[in-house]
Amino acid sequence: MSNGINAKDVAKLAGVSQPTVSRVFFGGASVSEKTRKKVLAAAEELGYSPNEFARSLITNKTRIIGLVMKGVKNPFYPQVLKEFTSHFKKLGYSILFVHTSNDEIQKEDVETLLKYNVAGVIITDATLSLKVTEDFKKNKIPLVLFNRKVEGQNFFTVGTNNLAASRKIAEYLIQKGCSDMVYISGERNTSTSIEREKGFSEVLEKHQLGYQQYDSDFSYEGGYKTAKKIIQKGEIPSAFFVANDIMALGVLDALRENNILVPAETKVVGFDNIDMAGWPLYSLTTWEQPISEMVEKTVKYVLAEIDEYTGMTENIEIKGQLIERKTT
Amino acid sequence: MSNGINAKDVAKLAGVSQPTVSRVFFGGASVSEKTRKKVLAAAEELGYSPNEFARSLITNKTRIIGLVMKGVKNPFYPQVLKEFTSHFKKLGYSILFVHTSNDEIQKEDVETLLKYNVAGVIITDATLSLKVTEDFKKNKIPLVLFNRKVEGQNFFTVGTNNLAASRKIAEYLIQKGCSDMVYISGERNTSTSIEREKGFSEVLEKHQLGYQQYDSDFSYEGGYKTAKKIIQKGEIPSAFFVANDIMALGVLDALRENNILVPAETKVVGFDNIDMAGWPLYSLTTWEQPISEMVEKTVKYVLAEIDEYTGMTENIEIKGQLIERKTT
DNA sequence: CTGAAAGCGCTTACAG
DNA sequence: CTGAAAGCGCTTACAG
C-alpha cells in the first residue's frame, strides 16, 4: 500500500461504508453527488489512494504495460521507450521495462510479464516463439510487435512500410546516377532487414541492375567493419543503402577515414532518422520512421484490446518519408 | 494471476493443504523434503506460480524497482538502464521505468512509485524535493541518486569522484601546455556540472590560470551551439573541458565545421566515456564513468536496505579514469 | 512439520 | 443509491 491508510479509514471519516468508498474510486458505479463529495474530501484529508495490488487481485487486471527492448544502443529505441512511457503515463499506465539480449524473447522474460499480469505487451525489436505467443493469448494479453514481423505468423505489428520505403530509396539512388550499389543488412533474419532488401532489390532488378549484399548487425561497429571490408577490397560502390542509421554512421566514418568523399565518390542512405543522422558532420540522407505516429497506433490498439480483447491481428504500416541530406 | 491455477489447485493435486503449498513457495518455513517434492511436482504439472499481487497485498512488499530517468537522449543513460535491468533481473526484481521531463521529479511520478509500492527507487539524472524524500522515508523505501547529489541534503548517492576527476583533467591539460581554457557546463544547478567545474577551477587557480565558463544543457545541440558561439567571437581557447561527452561531440563537430584542428589548434576533453567517444572519427579524450561498478554499488545498497531498512546515507564515489584519445 | 483460521484491501453481486 | 457479505490468492500466527 502506498501508505498506512485504506478504504475503511476513509469510510469511517466520511461516515459511509467501505464499499461506497470503493465505488467512488473505481468508477462506473452510481454514487450520489453528496456522498461522492464527502468521500473525496475524507480521502483527500487522509491522503488515500486505492491499493493497486488488492485491486489487481480482484479484477485480475493491471495498469502495467510490459515493454520489451533489445537494442538500447541504437538511439532509435530509447526514443521509442520514452514516447511509450509518456503516452501511457497520460493514460494512467506504467511501464515494466524488460531488457532481452536475444532476438527471440526468453522464457524468463515472459514469466515476468505474466507474473505481473501486464495489461499489454509491446516488443520493440525482438520476436517470440509460437508457444510464448499462446501464453499471452491464453491470458488475453494484447501483444504488439513494434518494428518487427514474423514470417508466417499473425501478430499485430506496427512498423514502417519498408517495401515502399526501400523502393523509393532505390529509385532515388538510380535517379542520382548510381548503378553498382551495396546493401548492408542488420541481423539477417529480421523482418526489417529482409523487407528493406526486398524493395530495394525489386527496383534494381527492374532496372537490370545488380547489387552486393553484406550481412551486418544493426550496430555502429557492424556498419564500420563492413564498410572497411568493402573498402579494402578496393571496390567502392556508387552507393550504400544501409538497413539502419546507426550502421550507416559507421559506414560514413569508415569512408571518411579512407578519404572517400561522400557524396562525390559514393553515396550513403540510412533508415530511421535518428537524431544523429541530422548532426551536421554526418548529415545522413535517410528514411524517417515517424516514431510518434507509430507509438500512437500501437497505444490505440493496446487500449482497445484491453477494453475488449479480440486477439485481432493486423500489420500497420506507416509511410514515413525520405529525408534528403548531404550524403547523397 | 499468471494463469487460471492457484495454490489451492496445487494443494489438492499434491494432497496437502493450501498453506503448505504457500510454505514451499515462499521459503523460510520448514517443510519436509517429501512434502516439498510432492508440492513442486504438482506445481510443475499444473504450471503454477504464486500470484504476485496476493503476495504483495499480504507482505506489503514487492519485487519491483522504480527507475527514474530523464536524459534518454544521452547514450550514457540507456546503458545505465540496461545494466540495472540485467542486474536486478538476476536477483528476481523487475524494473518499473519512469520517465521524467524535469530536473526534479514530479508528484505524479512519485505517486506511481508509491502506488506500486516499489522495493526501491533509483533516480539516475534528476533530483527530488524534501517533501518527496519524506514520502519515501515514511514508507521505508530505499532511494539512490545515481550520478546526482543535492546540496545540503543527505541522500545515498552513487557517482564518480568528480572533484578528483576534474582536477586530474585540469592538470593533464596544463601539462599539455594549455593555458586559456573553457569549461562548458550542463544544466547549471546539477551537482555533476558544479563539481566538475570546481575541481577544474581549483587546479587552474593554483596555477594562476583563469578560464571562461559557459552554460549549456548536457545535450549535443547545446555543446554544438555553445562552441559555435565561442568560435564566432574568434576566441579559440587552447582547450575545452566539457561536462559530458555528448556535449563534447557537439563541440567537436562545431570545431570541425569551422576547420579548427583538434588537437593541433585546440583540445577537447569530455566526461562519461560513452561508446561514441570511442568512435574513430571522434576519438574523444574523456573521463570514464565505470557504469558497471556504479551499478553494482547501487544494487548492493538497495538490496541491503530492502533486507533491513536503515535509511542510511552515504556518498559513494567511484574513481574512474582518464581515457586518452586523439582530441588532446 | 502441517492444518484450520484469520486477514491483507479491495470489488462486486445481492438486497433493500 | 447504499450496506452487509462473499471472495480474490495469498501469508502467517496459532495449535497440535
**Strand C contact at CB of residue B1, distance < 7 A:** no
List the grid coordinates of A203. Answer: 527496383
Given CB atoms, is B280 within the 8 Å cutoff of chain A?
A: yes
List the grid coordinates of A215. Answer: 550481412
For the CA atoms of A51, A57, A62, A68, the dihedral, rounded to the nearest 10 degrees, stands at 120
Average pLDDT over residues A204-221: 97
**Cα–Cα nearest to A156, from A121, A187, A129, A188:** A121
Select from A97, A220, A224 the Cβ nearest to the Cβ of B85.
Answer: A97
Per-residue b/e over A236-265, b at no fewer than 16 CB within 10 Å?
bbbbbbbbbbbbbbbbbbbbeeeeeebbee
Given CB atoms, is B224 within the 8 Å cutoff of chain A?
A: yes
| A contact residues 56-85, partner B, Cβ 8 Å cutoff | 56-57, 60, 62, 64, 67, 72-73, 75, 77-79, 81-82, 85
**Cα–Cα nearest to B65, from B50, B84, B82:** B84
| % of residues, chain B, pLDDT over 90 | 86
Phi, psi of B118 (to 5 degrees): -55, 150
Quickly state the pLDDT bin for A5 (edges 50, 70, 90): confident
Select from B82, B114, B275 the Cβ nearest to the Cβ of A99.
Answer: B82
Q: Quick one: pLDDT at residue A1?
A: 40
Cell numbers 471519516 correspond to what residue?
Answer: A13
Contact between A317 and A156 (Cβ < 8 Å): no
Select from A1, A78, A224 the Cβ nearest to the Cβ of B117.
Answer: A1
Q: Is the dihedral of CA A258, A259, A265, A271 positive or negative?
A: positive
Instruction: Report the run of H or E that residue A122 belongs to, with start and end.
Output: strand A120-123
Set of chain B residues whose Cβ sits within 8 Å of the Cβ of A326: none
Q: How far apart are CA B241 and CA B287, in angstroms?
A: 11
Region of B187 (left: φ > 0; alpha: ψ -120 to 50; beta: rest) is: beta
Q: Which residues pair with B69 in a beta bridge?
A: B99
The pLDDT tens digits of the residues spanning A17-56 come to 999 999 999 977 889 999 999 999 999 999 888 999 999 9
Contact between B176 and B267 (Cβ < 8 Å): yes
Alpha helices in chain B (DSSP H): 7-14, 18-26, 33-46, 52-59, 76-90, 107-115, 130-138, 162-175, 191-206, 220-232, 245-257, 291-307
The pLDDT tens digits of the residues spanning B228-243 come to 999 999 989 999 999 9
User: Mean of the per-residue pLDDT values for chain A?
Assistant: 94
The gap from C-alpha A309 to its chain's centroid, in whole angstroms, comes to 21
Decide: helix, strand or coil at residue B127: strand
Residues 50-89 of B with CB under 7 A from strand D: 50-51, 54-55, 57-59
Q: Quick one: pLDDT at residue B150?
A: 93
Contact between B68 and B126 (Cβ < 8 Å): yes
Taking CA atoms, what residue in B is nearest to A4? Answer: B139
The pLDDT tens digits of the residues spanning A66-77 come to 999 998 999 999
Q: Quick one: pLDDT at residue A306?
A: 93
The pLDDT tens digits of the residues spanning B143-197 come to 999 999 998 889 999 999 999 999 999 999 999 999 999 999 999 999 999 999 9
List the grid coordinates of B135. Answer: 514520502
Per-residue pLDDT at A277 exceeds 70: yes
User: Mean of the per-residue pLDDT values for chain B?
Assistant: 94
Quickly state the pLDDT bin for B8 (edges 50, 70, 90): very high
Quickly state the pLDDT bin for B2 (edges 50, 70, 90): very low
| % of residues, chain A, pLDDT over 90 | 86
Q: How far apart are CA A186 and CA B303, in angstroms?
A: 38
Contact between A176 and A207 (Cβ < 8 Å): no
Q: Quick one: pLDDT at residue B292?
A: 97
Q: Which residues contact A297 (CB under 8 A, 6 or more apart)?
A: A158, A316, A318
Q: Which residue is nearest to nucleotide D8 (CA to C1')?
A: A58
Average pLDDT over residues A201-221: 97
Q: Quick one: pLDDT at residue B82?
A: 97
Per-residue pLDDT at A152 exceeds 90: no
Largest CA distance in chain A: 85
Q: How far apart are CA A137 and CA A140, in angstroms?
A: 5
Given CB atoms, is A110 within the 8 Å cutoff of chain B?
A: no
Q: How far apart are CA B51 and CA B25, in angstroms?
A: 11
The gap from C-alpha A187 to its chain's centroid, in whole angstroms, comes to 17
Given CB atoms, is A188 within the 8 Å cutoff of chain B?
A: no
Which amino acid is present at B150? V
**Cα–Cα nearest to B153, from B130, B182, B132:** B130
Set of chain B residues whose Cβ sits within 8 Å of the Cβ of A53: 53-54, 56-57, 62, 117
Per-residue pLDDT at A11 exceeds 90: yes
Q: Tell me which of B259 and B139 has the higher pLDDT.
A: B259
Distances (CA, A) of A246 to A66, A186, A269: 26, 10, 11
Q: Which range, of A86-100, B123-137, B248-262, B271-285, averages the lowest pLDDT?
A: B123-137
The pLDDT tens digits of the residues spanning B267-278 come to 999 999 999 999
Inspect the interface and report whether the beta carbons of A52 and B79 lie closer than 8 Å. no
Q: Which domains does chain B have, with CATH numbers?
A: 7-58 (1.10.260.40), 64-159+291-318 (3.40.50.2300), 162-288 (3.40.50.2300)
Q: At what angle do helices A33-46 and A7-14 cross, to 10 degrees?
A: 120
Quickly state the pLDDT bin for A3 (edges 50, 70, 90): low
Q: Quick one: pLDDT at residue B251?
A: 98
Quickly state the pLDDT bin for B28 (edges 50, 70, 90): confident
Per-residue pLDDT at A2 exceeds 50: no
- The minimum CA-CA distance between B222 and chain A, rounded to whole Å, is 12
Inspect the interface and report whether the beta carbons of A98 and B115 lie closer than 8 Å. no
Inspect the interface and report whether the beta carbons of A72 and B56 lie closer than 8 Å. no
Select from B53, B79, B89 the Cβ nearest to the Cβ of A57.
Answer: B53
Contact between A89 and A63 (Cβ < 8 Å): no
Contact between B187 and B244 (Cβ < 8 Å): no
Quickly state the pLDDT bin for A131 (edges 50, 70, 90): confident
List the grid coordinates of B248. Answer: 563534447
Mutation for A interface: B49, B51, B52, B131, most A CBs within 10 A: B52
pTM, 2 dp: 0.94
The pLDDT tens digits of the residues spanning B38-93 come to 999 999 999 888 999 999 999 989 999 999 999 899 999 999 999 999 999 999 99
Distances (CA, A) of A154 to A145, B21, B48: 10, 38, 28
Mutation for B interface: A58, A76, A80, A94, most B CBs within 10 A: A94
